[in-house]
Structure 1
Amino acid sequence: MTDPLQIDARDLLCPLPVLRLRKALASVAPGSQVQLLATDPASQIDVPHFCTEQGHHLIRQTTSAEGHFLFTIAKAL
């Protein structure tokens, strides 16, 4: 398995983290994983909602000690 594509969306505000995620998912094969690193608190709501609406699988959502939000998403099959 290859390492997931990583997107750095730190310091970007809504809706930019989700737009970056959408663009990245469009460039990978179905079933591939993408990791998104964000600092916008709205991303905690926006990313899961985007995944649900588009059929992608939100594998993991964590918050670091520094307050960064890390999402791991698998592209819909």
Structure 2
Amino acid sequence: MSITRAWAVLMALSLASTAIAWSGAGGVWAALAILTLAWGKAQVILNRYLRLSQAPDISRGVALVLGLFMAGVMGLAVAGG
């Protein structure tokens, strides 16, 4: 993925997050949608800008830790919602 395409993906994900937040949608589903978009943004940043894609083993480990963290945060969003 080129740097320009990565930037475009980040912009699209940010606009989607902003649209959900601005729409006034509340509750668990909005929180989960925004967290999912943030997870995608984190993956783009880690793999493209920090070049973790060049170290596949490390990339998988970081993706696992990030996935566990996001699952925990999403679980808290569901429990608190």
Could you say whether these structures have the same fold, taking a TM-score greater than 0.5 normalized by the shorter chain as the test?
Answer: no
Which of the pair has more CA radius of gyration?
A: 2
Which TM bucket (shorter chain)?
0.3 to 0.5
More strand by share: 1
Normalising by the residue count of structure 2, what TM-score does the alignment of the two structures yield? 0.31
